[in-house]
Amino acid sequence: MSSQINIRAAKVCDVDGIEALLTPYAQKKIVLQRSKDDVFQHLQEFIVAEYNGIVVGTVALHVYASHIAEIRSLVVNPDYQDMKIGYSLLEECEKKAIQLGIDQVFALTYVDQFFLRMGYGVVLKETLPHKIWTVCIHCDKFSACDEIAVVKHLSL
Ligand SMILES: CC(C)(COP(=O)(O)OP(=O)(O)OC[C@H]1O[C@@H](n2cnc3c(N)ncnc32)[C@H](O)[C@@H]1OP(=O)(O)O)[C@@H](O)C(=O)NCCC(=O)NCCS
């Protein structure tokens, strides 16, 4: 099946699919809710995994500063998990960061083991740029965030 999975930059026609992928996980507070408007406005940040014309996975790269960007909105459709799609999306996101000249990516996550397998290390949230809290403030768990911060240094 993996040969039929296409990892590519998101297009406007993917917005409904991206929102549909994220919504169930946003309802479980695993990722932040992204409205269609929000996805449209940040479309250039998104990468998708497509299988037979269906968007089965997505991830976004949000740049904060010259040296650091966040891996956001990483989700794979449950029917397509454990097929290395998450790995491929993350790898593509890291390539995108390198192309942009960014040497450090981070994520706030509950699946720290997934990121550790991909070469990330756990860090204290306090070491992340303060700017990230401008997004976190929209999260219900802002005052009691229990996500784990993971960081990877990229070779430019
Ligand atoms: C996390 C997620 C994106 C992984 O996608 P996936 O396509 O199933 O993962 P892959 O098949 O690429 O797995 C790559 C490796 O990570 C491991 N892995 C996958 N999901 C994992 C998880 N939830 N916890 C720990 N390890 C995990 C796999 O076993 C595999 O390891 P291996 O190479 O030793 O076999 C997917 O499970 C998902 O959408 N989860 C719900 C949303 C979520 O938590 N997103 C992360 C937000 S930061």
Render each residue's pLDDT in the chain as its tens digit; 156 residues.
555 899 999 999 999 999 999 999 999 999 999 999 999 999 999 999 999 999 999 999 999 999 999 999 999 999 999 999 999 999 999 999 999 999 999 999 999 999 999 999 999 988 988 877 777 777 777 777 889 999 999 998
The superfamily CATH assigns to domain 2-153 is: Gcn5-related N-acetyltransferase (GNAT) (3.40.630.30)
SS (H, E, C) the chain: CHHHEEEEECCHHHHHHHHHHHHHHHHCCCCCCCCHHHHHHCHHHEEEEEECCEEEEEEEEEEEECCEEEEEEEEECHHHCCCCHHHHHHHHHHHHHHHCCCCEEEEEECCHHHHHHCCCEEECHHHCCHHHHHHHCCCCCHHHCCCEEEEEECCC
Q: What is the domain partition of the chain in residue ranges?
A: 2-153
pLDDT value for 138: 72
Residue 83, ligand 1, Cβ within 6 A: yes
How many Å lie between the centroid of ligand 1 and the Cα of residue 82? 7
Asked if residue 29 has its Cβ within 6 Å of ligand 1, the reply is no
